[in-house]
A and B are shown apart, each in its own frame.
Chain A
């Protein structure tokens, strides 16, 4: 299949999504969008806030007297639950104006940064996870950990900025 027809298929998927009863209800209802958006904001504040607890520990700014492993174990299950809520509510918001969002530059940037944040986290887990012994002691973070924390912090600030910016763009 050519790249062109792939693209066509994707935009047809967005159009189909846009026309589902579910998406139409969110789009045309008076209160559904703001309610789902409120859940989305709540979820993302918890995601970003709890991730920054880990990032700031990695950077050695907070809780240096505790090991990275224990800070991470305490916070990340909570982060993942909030992330699941953010993805669900975000998908519902996306569906309501699927075609417009899919073409929106800010929205695409937000997704790109989300993917990069995922890659950063995966890299961190794969490379550091192996020597977790080093991470279960309190004290300064080895350099790669600091870099991962800084990248994560910057990416999440970008994700919030682009996400908020989407709201100022006309996607209808």
Chain B
């Protein structure tokens, strides 16, 4: 048997997993928490990215907007990982053997690296992404890529429910 499948079958047989499976409201409740958390992360990322792109009000400097919103991404990520892990424990095969889930995790990794990189620049210098036309263009490119990645995460996440992976 494939090791991932073996792991899924083992996980699905644990007491915690059977508990999550047997209580009807747990999965919808976890998914609700997960979606509410995505709402926070998605909107925080959008507020910063749209500011960089000049679409939202420019009354605050970029560094202040980033300070206001980026911490929400990192703190909410903890809730996302916890609720997501609980959902995986409840139905391991649904995600761990699912290409849509793998895609989602890969895009998430890329989005987080990008956010760290963006934040590191600002930490070094509040005007890091505004100093020269080149930096400005770089910042805008990062903002567009970041938006595309977060949208991709939401889409791939929803598609986990539709990519059929069979039993467990």
Chain A residues near B (Cβ < 8 Å): 31, 34, 37-38, 41-42, 44-50, 52-53, 62-63, 70, 73-75, 78, 157, 160-161, 164-165, 167-168
Contact = CB atoms under 8 A, between A and B. Distances in A.
Interface stretch (B14-22, B32-40, B137-145): B32-40
A38 B154 contact: yes
Ranked nearest first, the 7 interchain pairs of A and B with the lowest CB-CB distance are A49-B43, A45-B39, A49-B39, A48-B39, A45-B42, A38-B158, A38-B155
B31 interface: yes
Nearest to A73: B57
B56 A42 contact: no
A91 B31 CA distance: 22
Contact of A42 (B44, B50, B57, B154): B154
A45 B32 contact: no
Given A49-B40, A160-B35, A165 B158 contact: no
B32 A41 contact: no
Report which residue of A45, A48, A74, A157 has the largest number of chain B beta carbons within 10 angstroms of its beta carbon.
Answer: A45
Contacts of A44: 35, 39
Interface string B125-162: 00000000000000000000000000100110111011
Contact residues of A: prevailing secondary structure: helix
B35 A42 contact: no
B48 to A, nearest CB: 12
Given A41-B158, A42-B155, A160-B35, A53 B28 contact: no
Contact residues of B: prevailing secondary structure: helix
Interface residues of B, number: 29
Nearest to A70: B59
6 contacts: A41-B158, A42-B151, A49-B40, A52-B43, A74-B57, A161-B29
A64 to B, nearest CB: 12
A130 B45 CA distance: 33
Interface of B: 27-29, 31-32, 35-36, 38-44, 46-47, 50, 56-57, 59, 68, 151, 154-155, 157-159, 161-162
A143 B161 CA distance: 43
Contacts of A63: 68
A62 B68 CA distance: 9
Contacts of B31: 164
A46 B42 contact: yes
Contacts of A70: 57, 59
A45 B35 contact: yes
A38 B42 CA distance: 14
Report which residue of B27, B39, B162 has the largest number of chain A beta carbons within 10 angstroms of its beta carbon.
Answer: B39
B43 A46 contact: yes
Nearest to B42: A45
Nearest to B45: A49
B56 A78 contact: yes
Given A34-B162, A50-B43, 20 more contacts: A31-B162, A37-B158, A38-B158, A41-B158, A42-B151, A44-B35, A44-B39, A45-B38, A45-B43, A46-B39, A47-B39, A49-B41, A50-B46, A52-B39, A52-B40, A53-B47, A74-B57, A157-B36, A165-B32, A168-B28
